[in-house]
Amino acid sequence: MTGETMKKENVNKQNRSCLRIGMISLGCAKNRVDSEIMLGLIKNAGYEITNDIELADIVVVNTCGFIESSKEEGINTLLDVAQLKKTGRLSGIIAAGCLAQRYGKEITALIPEVDAVVGAFGYSNICDAIKCVWECSKKVLTDRPENRSAAEKSRSICYFDDREITDLDYLEGERILTTPACYAYLKIAEGCSNRCTYCAIPSIRGPYRSRPVEKVVREAKKLISRGVKELVVVAQDTTMYGTDISGKSLLPELLEALDGIEELAFIRILYLYPDEITDEIIDAIGKAKKVVPYFDIPLQHINDNVLKRMNRRGNGKMYRDVIKKLRERIPGCIIRTSLITGFPGETEEEHRELLEFLRETRLERVGVFIYSREEGTPAARMNDQVHPSTKKRRYRELMAAQQEVSYNFNSSRVGRVFPVLVESVSDDGIFYIGRSYMEAPEEDGSVFFAAKKEHSIGDIVDVKVLVAEEYDVTGEETGDSN
């Protein structure tokens, strides 16, 4: 950009009445909900939202700080956005979310182009942050080029993080959905009161706090009125929902209320902790007409010694019993889990036990994470940290075993018919892309299918599976349903 072009662009920004705001959301589904809430606040404040970051006046990066790779992604994204600011196209950068909550001062020191920090307790202040950033940027934009660098260095950083706020009122705002129109995430709680030794979430997000049932149901109805067909229920631990309010899990009560909403096709629950999956919860899921039999259960490991060092409740036998009970009582159910390999002190024998568990139990969906040494957690201070090369080798072995399980499972689906929720069309225009009850969005594979007629996003189509791959299946539309 030439000096004259940059000058004209800066004048246009000063004269334009409506600022353009861009949003980059990183991390988990819970973070996505927060981004959607912030977008709703931004829109209601009269700002223009743009999907093209290069056209934005201010960019908000909602970061994740869960594991090392998430931190790296957040920093690299902020650095990439900072390059746009150097060209003169961008006036302000706001770092938000978990990484900003945990390392706000460090971020602004490392990346001086960042103008404001909005922590995980400050989402409701996003518009104040935008206003602050814009006011501070005006002097920089109007300064002569030779003074601009000094103005940048002297500007004040805006910090928005109110740790005294423990309610979830910010979640009551209107959301701008960033998912395909057919599904949306429904956040039922914030924070976590578990004390897993490897996890920093409680220190970042605070203790577990449930939203009242009536507020969750009210939001669900709003989402359904906008054409959403599938609600994906999320929290750091969905089985604990309501325990902070009533002393017992209110998940069965919530599911019954959601199940009665007309026009809703599917309810999917994620993050069910194994030791809290009670008979009451199983009965509620089995009884509900719209809750899909998909159980996302983060086990993390199966060896008792490793689980104890992780400070996970329960043991290997309990986990195996839960899996057996679910399969007996809800035939055809899908079980997904997440595992951690290379936890401090994990021996080769303990790794082999986990490997054999995958081969024997044949869980349909598995995600494996390499242990990340998180600052401030008990596990980070443990002796016997596993060598990085060993962790990577164990990860490869676990993934290879699971790929075989996944392929065999998908092969067993060939010839069967499943209702599929249409999400998009392939780039070549030949196939529709969707999910059956067996696939969670953004986590599992997809169902590709050729159709006999034209469909819209959100349609539910009966698809016969013809071809299986490790993670995806391909089929064709049929009039028969199973």
Q: What is the pLDDT of residues 410-457, one digit of tens each?
A: 999 999 999 999 999 988 878 999 999 999 999 999 999 999 889 999
List the structure tokens of 460: 């539910």
Helices and strands (H and E) in the chain: how many: 15, 19
pLDDT at residue 298, rounded to an integer: 96
Mean pLDDT over residues 1-17, rounded?
43
The CA–CA distances, whole Å, from 296 to 91, 271, 326, 369, 396 equal 42, 5, 12, 15, 22
User: Identical fold at 3-160 and 169-411?
Assistant: no
- Please state, in angstroms and rounded to a whole number, the distance separating the CA atoms of residues 296 and 186: 15
pLDDT tier at 88, thresholds 50, 70, 90? low
**Domain residue limits, the chain:** 3-160, 169-411, 417-477
List the structure tokens of 354: 């986990």
Dump pLDDT digits (tens) for 330-361: 999 999 999 999 999 999 999 999 999 999 99
Superfamily of domain 169-411: tm_1862 like domain (3.80.30.20)
Mean pLDDT over residues 54-79, rounded?
91
Which amino acid appears at position 314 of this protein? G
List the structure tokens of 33: 């909900």
Within 10 Å of residue 77's Cβ, how many Cβ atoms? 18
The model scores a pTM over 0.95: no
Mean pLDDT over residues 401-407, rounded?
97
List the structure tokens of 348: 């080769």
173 by Cβ neighbours in 10 Å (0-12 / 13-18 / 19+) ranks as middle
Going across the sheet that includes 48-49, the strands are 48-49, 20-25, 58-63, 92-97, 116-118, 158-160
Dump pLDDT digits (tens) for 294-331: 999 999 999 999 999 999 999 999 999 999 999 999 99
Looking at domain 417-477, which of 2.40.50.140, 3.30.70.20, 3.10.20.30, 3.40.50.1000 is its CATH number?
Answer: 2.40.50.140
List the structure tokens of 206: 């605070």
pLDDT at residue 366, rounded to an integer: 97
- Please state, in angstroms and rounded to a whole number, the distance separating the CA atoms of residues 358 and 412: 18
List the structure tokens of 372: 């990340």
Q: What share of the chain is helix, strand, coil (3-state, %, to 5)?
A: 45, 20, 35
Dump pLDDT digits (tens) for 233-276: 999 999 999 999 999 999 999 999 999 999 999 999 999 999 99
pLDDT at residue 242, rounded to an integer: 96
CA neighbor of 475 nearest in space, from 446, 453, 454: 446
pLDDT at residue 177, rounded to an integer: 95
- Domain 3-160 belongs to what topology? Rossmann fold (3.40.50)
Quickly list H helices, 174-296.
201-205, 213-225, 243-246, 251-259, 279-287
Farthest-apart Cα atoms in the chain, separation? 73
pLDDT at residue 169, rounded to an integer: 78
